[in-house]
Each structure stands twice: as C-alpha cells, then as structure tokens.
Amino acid sequence: MVGSFGDIVFEVSDEKVKTFRDFQIQRSAQYAEHSIHGRKSLLEFTGLTAASASLAISLKAWLGVNPKEELYLLREVLERHIAMPLIFDGEPQGDGRWVIESLDEKFEIIDNHGTFISIDVTLKLREYIEVDSDGN
C-alpha cells in the first residue's frame, strides 16, 4: 500500500496500479493586523488554518482498475461530504480527517462502445477538524 484516503487505497501490485501524482499540502497561519499611528502595524498570531491538499489520480483500465467505478466512488465521497483519514508514508496527514472540496474529471480515452478506459481526476482536499459539544 502506497497510501490511502479512507477506503480508497493507493497501491501497486502485479494485478493493479492505482497511484497518484503531484501531491501537495498547503499549510498556513492566520494573523490579525493591528494598526498603530505613526508606526508599522503589528501582527498577532491568531491560529493555524485547516490544511488543504491536492493530488492527481490516473484511473486506467489497463492497469487493473475500473475507471467508472472508481470515479463514482470519489463522487459519492464528495456528494455525501464524507470525512476520511489521509495516510501517506505510513502516517496520518494533519490533525483530523479530510473532505473532498472539489473533484476535477478529465475523460481521456473512451472506446468504441462508449466505455471510459482512462480517466484522470484531480482532488482538492481540506482538513476537517471536528469539535465536540463543548467546542473542543
């Protein structure tokens, strides 16, 4: 296993190749700016933003995956706003689970029966931090 996003497993084996490329995580801090007359403004750290990530996945029938089924699974995760752990290099990424913010679909190859043979998707993910009833 190369990594996973919930039940979506990225793997390379004799039977199946389902991997990703262009994986990026963006992390940032938030600052409030306080204006002071006659001086440079002061910055105050107010917290970290939820991380965002992006990755591209190639769904190719000749690599042992069913592009249409895989695409429908990703659409379901997006439409049902399912938050899932994101794991790469054997470690969870971020402090919580992740949701799909957007799903870009590129239909590359379609056979003479109208079957999708190759679909490239780009996922934009956002870290989803849950708070309990006490606001923690």
For the CA atoms of 30, 3, 67, 13, what is the dihedral angle to 10 degrees? 160
β-pair partners for 133: none
Predicted local distance difference test score (pLDDT) of residue 135 = 65
Picking from 95, 98, 118, 96, the residue whose alpha carbon sits closest to that of residue 106 is 118
Residue 107 token pair: 């239909």
- The set of residues, in sequence order, having a beta carbon less than 8 Å from that of 114 and lying 6+ positions away, is none
Q: How far apart are CA 129 and CA 11, in angstroms?
A: 27
pTM: 0.84
Each domain of the chain, given as residue ranges in start order, spans: 3-21+51-128
The tens digit of pLDDT for each residue in 71-123 reads 999 999 999 999 999 998 889 998 889 999 999 999 999 989 988 999 999 99
Q: Are 50 and 97 in contact (CB under 8 A)?
A: no
To which residue do tokens 């801090």 refer?
29
